[in-house]
Chains A and B, each alone.
Chain A
């Protein structure tokens, strides 16, 4: 019985729990509102706009690369790997991105890690092909794209890589054929539409180039694609009788 006698000042446990819940709720609300205000301020100050609609974790990395800010891009790719190295596709995209951003050793390390986790996976050959492409080793790159395509003929990224190599080697009909295969497998690949536009422009078909650049610009309106579109439009206007 004595254990039931409580001093006057003691708060019943249920009431204490409720007070704690209320405190937790207010604290959580405060932090959440603070985060949202900080997020709005961050975009408003750095980009002078409201946050746009984007949920691709690598969008900032690609934007930074398009602006030529390689250090910022590399930071984004490393951030991606820090939280998501278990997804092979994103790991390989980060590896390629690092190479493109100038961190060849970092990219090679990630490709090595991917190979150790998934030995023989054709996607690793594709990523290695792209890494070699970005370091201008075109013949070796083509060899890895070919290996990947023998294992998986539907690997549109390998077809796209092979097309880029052939464009660099000025083998335009082969590039075009590879890009047409990319379109059949993934019609939403903006950079492949851009490359096909380049192939058309370089082989004297500016009107078809405009069509491809226009689709590319809808899918990924980067400065280089928009510039290609403008040039092709001017060229098409000049070539009209």
Chain B
């Protein structure tokens, strides 16, 4: 019997009506950064145009914020992969083979932009909303574990479906990716096909919000393991990111990417620090581990996104081609690495992060 199970009758009497979730750092930080609450506030401000000076400030410093958050988060998965104990032994292809494969694909994409380059870009655009939804699902489940509320496979399937409805919407509507990439334009232009696509997109749009809310209410009322409020917030925030704000508007896209990166970096850093603090030979305080890890991510992020594209300019390619191909390949590499380093329950560091004990 688990500790939660042993005290269940008492906690059942005392538990609040809504489970806010067990925060990692504190409620304010977790709700604003990991749950994505701050992003909703900023996006509402941008959307309302109530304070144009905020928009101007964001645009002026956009690439600095992107470097500090999003570029660092891409580098973060690589830094995590190579600093995780036993990675080379457990994941030889991922650690040693994939970098070379990525470089070869990048080179071929630049040499054959029509045949391969465009498709790499479309693959990245298609995969990206899936990755966002997977992150929302991971965060939601992580807080469920931390609350000590076990979800069975059937319940998790429903949660997964609710998390992936925004991806379905993006897949159906995203320009240059998803359905627009995989289906011939002539087929999509057919009025019947367009009507079906429009209906499916509307359904996915509604499901993106109604699904998580219905699941939350059902679990509140039905005597099942409850969905923590912060899990619901993370899932709904992802729905706002992918569904309510047209995904391709450059400024909004960059702001969403910044908050997605922040969310990821926060969790990654927590996992890293917890692991380092548990080492018997640890002498450093937690902040030093966190700062060191982030500095590594930031440095690698700068090299990958700001320096690397210029190498291909030296080789004779345009900056536009170089940047787009580098960004596509880094994204795809990140999605693959991420799928392995965050395997729920199978990863010991994930279990460390999921445990409620601080």
Q: A: which residues have CB within 8 A of B? A: 17-18, 21-22, 24-25, 27-29, 31-32, 34-36, 38-43, 51-55, 57-61, 75-80, 82-89, 117, 183-185, 187-188, 215, 218-219
B56 near A187 with CB under 8 A, answer yes
Q: How far is the CB of B98 from chain A (nearest CB, A)?
A: 8
Say yes or no: A219-B122 contact (C-beta < 8 A), given A54-B63, A55-B323.
Answer: no
B100 near A27 with CB under 8 A, answer yes
Asked if B49 is at the interface of the complex by the 8 Å CB criterion, the answer is yes
Which of A41, A55, A77, A87 touches B66 (beta carbons < 8 Å)?
A: A55
A32 near B310 with CB under 8 A, answer no
Say yes or no: A80-B320 contact (C-beta < 8 A), given A38-B314, A42-B313, A87-B248.
Answer: yes
Q: List 10 A-B contacts (CB under 8 A).
A: A22-B96, A32-B103, A38-B315, A39-B308, A43-B307, A60-B320, A76-B318, A86-B180, A188-B55, A188-B251
Say yes or no: A59-B325 contact (C-beta < 8 A), given A25-B96, A52-B306, A83-B121.
Answer: no
A32 vs B102: C-alpha distance when bound (angstroms): 10
State how many residues of chain B have any CB contact under 8 Å with chain A.
56
B96 near A80 with CB under 8 A, answer no
With a cutoff of 8 Å between Cβ atoms, the chain B residues found around residue A52 in the complex are 306
Say yes or no: A53-B307 contact (C-beta < 8 A), given A25-B99, A60-B319.
Answer: no
B103 near A84 with CB under 8 A, answer no
B318 near A84 with CB under 8 A, answer no
Q: Which residues of B from 19 to 70 have beta carbons under 8 Å from A?
A: 49, 52, 55-56, 58-60, 63-64, 66-67
Nearest to A72 among chain B residues (CB) is B318
Nearest to A22 among chain B residues (CB) is B96
Asked if B97 is at the interface of the complex by the 8 Å CB criterion, the answer is yes
A28 near B324 with CB under 8 A, answer no
Say yes or no: A28-B103 contact (C-beta < 8 A), given A55-B323, A219-B60.
Answer: yes
Which of B63, B100, B102, B113 touches A82 (beta carbons < 8 Å)?
A: B113
Q: B: which residues have CB within 8 A of A? A: 49, 52, 55-56, 58-60, 63-64, 66-67, 92-93, 95-97, 99-100, 102-103, 109, 113-114, 117-118, 121-122, 175-177, 180-181, 185, 248, 251, 303, 305-315, 317-321, 323-325, 327
B311 near A36 with CB under 8 A, answer yes
Closest 10 CB pairs of A and B: A79-B318, A187-B52, A25-B96, A28-B100, A28-B99, A39-B310, A86-B176, A188-B59, A80-B320, A53-B63
A85 near B118 with CB under 8 A, answer yes
With a cutoff of 8 Å between Cβ atoms, the chain B residues found around residue A78 in the complex are 318
B303 near A36 with CB under 8 A, answer yes
Q: How far is the CB of A189 from chain B (nearest CB, A)?
A: 9
B325 near A32 with CB under 8 A, answer no
Say yes or no: A41-B324 contact (C-beta < 8 A), given A21-B92, A76-B319, A82-B113.
Answer: no
A79 near B99 with CB under 8 A, answer no
Q: How far is the CB of A144 from chain B (nearest CB, A)?
A: 22
Q: How far is the CB of A154 from chain B (nearest CB, A)?
A: 11
A17 vs B58: C-alpha distance when bound (angstroms): 49
A38 vs B326: C-alpha distance when bound (angstroms): 15
